[in-house]
Copies of this chain bind each other. A is one copy, B any other.
Amino acid sequence: MNTLNTSASTAWQGGRRRIHLQDVGPRDGLQMEQAFVPTADKIALVDLLSTAGLAKIEVTSFVSPQAIPALRDAEIVLREIRRAPGIVYTCLVPNLRGAERAIEARADELNLVMSCSETHNLANLRMTREQSFVALTAVMALAQQAQVPINVSLSCAFGCPMEGDVPPDVVLDWAARFVALGARGITLCDTTGMAFPTQVAALTRGFRERFADTELTLHFHNTRGMGLANVLASIDAGADRFDASLGGLGGCPYAPGASGNVCTEEIVHALELMDFDTGCDLAVLLEAARRLPALIGHDTPSQIAKAGRRLDLHAPPPDFETWRARAAARG
């Protein structure tokens, strides 16, 4: 007997709705890697991604080269990529010095970051949240002077690995302060993979009700296997813009061995099958994803890179025709 809900939910039907995908692999992925990926290879990777139909690419991070040597070539990469029309080339910027460098190198957008959790902000940025906010206010003023749009990424929006749950109102109140300062977009980041679909649907809906005109991005990690489900729950609640990382790069320091960001080619593969319009060319993404192991020196979490698309068919086993003939002979 079936007593469950059997309504034909639109959650599983894309209906050609447009979903904007933003690849953060060149920044969020490569910053975690031990190996320094040569500058020319980074540029080639971004250039290839520029042909894949993404809405935005996070190219690099203007952090201190001592703090993250993997991205010490931020200026050169941002200057030398071939920019395709319609794609926003964004860069992570931790502070005023980084903002100056990013603006000088002609970033299309600055992506600022602070945490919704006091403990995580102190652990990660060594400031209180209020101190971060004051510092980022100065960065925003500089960017506005230079007419460069701002996105603010709020870490731990779905929970803090040290504090636990973060109340939704805390998240939305921090968003409100940046929206009031003129941020074009807010990213709700599931920094350590604590988000789950029920929570995601509620927070997305809450954000949409409060900030109808702000560009909302959701940034999920697949740490506990809920990445795609979170994307779908968020779409169902009104979101249409997601970060993802080529190959699923970008681990979480609190979950060694677990998967990183949601994987761009897996999300595109799934959403296109569901009749969403991602605008992306999966073949190009797969080509780019298959370059990664050579660049970073190890395998990636991408399952599509291993298994192929669902209709990438296989030949029958070598003895198949013999078996078929024998079966036919049995009548």
Contact = CB atoms under 8 A, between A and B. Distances in A.
Stoichiometry (number of copies): 2
Most B C-beta atoms less than 10 A away, residue of A14, A299, A316: A316
A247 interface: no
A236 interface: yes
Most B C-beta atoms less than 10 A away, residue of A17, A212, A306: A306
Interface stretch (A24-32, A45-53, A98-106, A196-204): A196-204
A193 B307 contact: yes
Interface stretch (A75-83, A172-180, A320-328): A320-328
Contact of A323 (B8, B126, B194): B126
Contacts of A123: 316-317, 320, 323
A323 B193 CA distance: 25
Contacts of A12: 197-198, 200-201, 233, 236
A241 B222 CA distance: 24
Contacts of A308: 255
A229 interface: yes
Contact of A224 (B7, B193, B222, B269): B269
A298 interface: no
A232 B197 CA distance: 10
Interface residues of A, number: 90
Interface stretch (A35-43, A57-65, A141-149, A161-169): A161-169
Interface stretch (A87-95, A107-115, A257-265): A257-265
B2 A212 contact: yes
Interface in A250-276: 252, 254-259, 263, 266, 269-270, 273-275
A44 to B, nearest CB: 25
Contacts of A233: 11-12
A96 interface: no
A216 B238 CA distance: 32
A222 B303 contact: yes
A66 interface: no
A15 to B, nearest CB: 9
Contact of A229 (B232, B254, B303, B328): B232
Given A9-B9, A208-B6, A255-B306, A198 B1 contact: no
A122 interface: yes
Given A8-B201, A320-B123, A226 B223 contact: no
Interface string A203-245: 0010010001100000000111111110011011111100000
A12 B328 CA distance: 49
B127 A327 contact: yes
A256 B324 CA distance: 25
A236 B161 contact: no
A34 interface: no
Contacts of A275: 198
A225 B147 CA distance: 40
20 contacts: A4-B17, A4-B239, A11-B11, A12-B201, A122-B327, A123-B316, A123-B317, A127-B330, A131-B330, A162-B316, A196-B270, A223-B303, A224-B269, A224-B303, A225-B270, A229-B229, A252-B307, A255-B308, A256-B306, A258-B303
